[in-house]
Structure 1
Amino acid sequence: MPQSRLGSDTPAAQKIDAIIAGLGDWRGDVLARIRRLIRAADPDIVEEVKWVKPTNPAGVPVWSHHGIVCTGESYRSKVKLTFARGASIHDPDGLFNASLDAGVRRAIDIHEHDSLDEAAFRKLIQAAVAVNTTAHDG
């Protein structure tokens, strides 16, 4: 399972680079920006690519720190960021806008012309890492 600690020369980072480049449109731009924000929010984040399958041969970018923090999937009309423990994360800025009735996870759907509060998103990543760290240490 390829993974990396923020190096652009590691197998996971290269695969995520390829996923972003392969999108070739606004979704790649959004995913690249999200990736930069995640890396800035947590320098110890680990990048991975999971769930490679015939219907998705590139796999799904995953960012982890003591467990999955979030995944970044692209669909025709949106980029979906799914937070594995989203229901446990305090979201005072109301960034979660999808999977709101899921038991454990929450998601952010970003469409082509949507804006994202970058400071709030960095705080959300840090809160997700804190939830994972508490669960890991507890």
Structure 2
Amino acid sequence: MTDKPDSEQIDDIIAQLSGWKHDAYVALRSAIRAGDPDAVEVVKYKKPSKPEGVAFWTHDGDLCFIDVLKNTVRLTFSKGARLPADALFNTRLDSKVVRAVDFAEGSRVDEAAVAAVVRQAVELNTAG
């Protein structure tokens, strides 16, 4: 257990990364913040296999989270299945709840597109 604020714990998660995974994570965090400057950063799901936890962004409920997998950095929108269809999503397409986009080595993060989907997610959460 740590006494650090969640945003500093996310800084620590980023500091553990290198290369393209680090760059993708930083770009995604920047895009999320641009899409909703009022989003709250929260670290959830700390467990022995992932003691650092998973970074979430919330605004009247969960918006999205970033998870680092073996070959990708995945941005998952918690209510993605209810968001307008968007070319950004490339995984979890048959889920009834979430939608995600995987970024692999060599992928470019379209920060404007991510920020736009974040704004859509905020609208969905705040609509009730």
TM-score range, shorter chain: over 0.9
* SS, match of residue 23 in structure 1: coil
TM score, norm. by length of structure 1: 0.87
- Give yes or no for the alignment of 1:18 onto 2:12: yes
Cα deviation digits, residues 45-87 of structure 1 (max 9, x gap): 0000000000000000000111111010001210011111001
Give the CA deviation at 1:120.
1.6
CA contact (8 A) 1:20 1:29 kept: no
Aligned to 2:55: 61
Map 1:55-94 to 2 at 5 A: 55-92=49-86, 94=87
Rounded to whole Å, the distance in 1 between the matches of 2:9 and 2:22 is 13
The one-letter code matched in structure 2 to 1:26 is W
- Structure 2 unaligned segments of length 5 or more: list them: none
TM score, norm. by length of structure 2: 0.93
Q: Say what the alpha-carbon RMSD is for the aligned residues.
A: 1.6
The one-letter code matched in structure 2 to 1:102 is S
After TM superposition, which residue ranges in structure 1, 4 or more long, deviate above 6 angstroms?
A: none
- Give yes or no for the alignment of 1:111 onto 2:104: yes
- Structure 1 unaligned segments of length 5 or more: list them: 3-9
- Give yes or no for the alignment of 1:49 onto 2:43: yes
CA contact (8 A) 1:91 1:124 kept: no
The one-letter code matched in structure 2 to 1:130 is E
Map 1:122-133 to 2 at 5 A: 122-133=115-126
Give the CA deviation at 1:90.
1.1
Give the CA deviation at 1:118.
2.1
Among candidates 122, 131, 134, match of residue 127 of structure 2: 134
CA contact (8 A) 2:10 2:43 kept: yes
The one-letter code matched in structure 2 to 1:119 is A
* SS, match of residue 16 in structure 2: helix
* SS, match of residue 129 in structure 1: helix
The one-letter code matched in structure 2 to 1:76 is K
Between the two proteins, what is the percent identity of the paired residues?
Answer: 43
Greater RCO, CA 8 A, separation 6+: 2
